[in-house]
Amino acid sequence: MDRREVGGRLIYLPADSSASSEAFLDDVLVGWRRAQITQNFRASTADRRIKLIHRMVDFVGSPPWQWSPHDADEFFAHLRGVRNLSHATIRAYQSDVRLFLEYATNPVYEWNENCGRLFGTVFSQVITEFNRATHVQTNDTQDKRRPFTKAELQQFFDLADLEPERILNSGRKGALAAWRDAVAFKVLYGWGLRAGEGRQLQLVDCSRNARAPGFGEWGLLRIRHGKAMRGSPG
């Protein structure tokens, strides 16, 4: 496969088909990885997605520009029915494949133009509204995992409050850490914070809230660090 840059555009010229197919796919995946890094996705996220594309190529037995929705159905049915992957994992994998094909079919990158010249076919989207896994419920966690009831929450916070006193009475160290944990639990629950957000809180993040003057200097909590970003684990 011969690559030439013409007027700032990368043009691929046909050569040995078997060798050019693998090389062309590698170029597309390298380009997709760069695009993801540019969008502030983590390198580990980009690499995981690329690994999934290779996995699907091996299963289907053909490159992505020859895939059809039927191929996607068989691949994900295998992962769900044979490999027994969770519904949430299947949905995440389908999103990865969809993102890859959105990139490959984007005319800005000219992959389809070169693909048609090389192989006589082009990339197309195989993850559609008809075969994409949807949210079966508002919470994808397993049935045995559930939120606390109000009574259970109260018991949990009561136990956290008693723990510093228990440690002090036992004569052991750790009462201050237990008190810190009790406060942290209440802050996380009260403001609905992620673990990363709560971990990076500082006293300066608390301030007066004009709508709730009764709380004094603790009526408002500003989150400056730890916010989830696209591509991050949250």
Condensed to tens digits (0 to 9), the pLDDT of residues 78-118 reads 999 999 999 889 999 999 999 999 999 999 999 999 999 88
Q: What are the structural domains of the chain?
A: 2-119 (1.10.150), 150-221 (no CATH)
Which pLDDT belongs to residue 230?
A: 54
Angle, vertex CA 195, rays to CA 186 and CA 150, nearest 5: 40
Q: What pLDDT is stored for residue 194 in this prediction?
A: 85
| Both structure tokens of 166 | 């228990």
What pLDDT shows up at residue 115?
92
CA 96/CA 75 separation, integer angstroms: 14
Locus of tokens 């005319």? 107
The confidence score (pLDDT) of residue 234 equals 43
pLDDT for res 67: 97
* Residue found by looking up tokens 């969008």 in the block: 39
pLDDT, residue 94, reads 96
Strands of the chain, DSSP E: 2-6, 9-13, 206-207, 220-221
CB crowding 154-192: b at 16 or more within 10 Å, else e: eeeeeebeebbeebeeeeeeebeebbeebebbeebeeee
Res 127: pLDDT: 95
Q: What pLDDT tens digit does each residue of the chain (234 aa) get?
A: 666 665 566 777 666 555 588 999 999 999 999 999 999 999 999 999 999 999 999 999 999 999 999 999 999 999 999 999 998 899 999 999 999 999 999 999 999 999 998 899 999 999 998 888 875 554 455 556 788 899 999 999 999 999 999 999 998 999 999 999 999 999 889 888 888 888 888 888 888 888 888 888 878 888 888 666 555 544
Instruction: Give the number of other Cβ atoms within 10 Å of residue 106's Cβ.
Output: 13
State residue 233's pLDDT score: 45
pLDDT digits over 142-152, tens only? Answer: 556 788 899 99
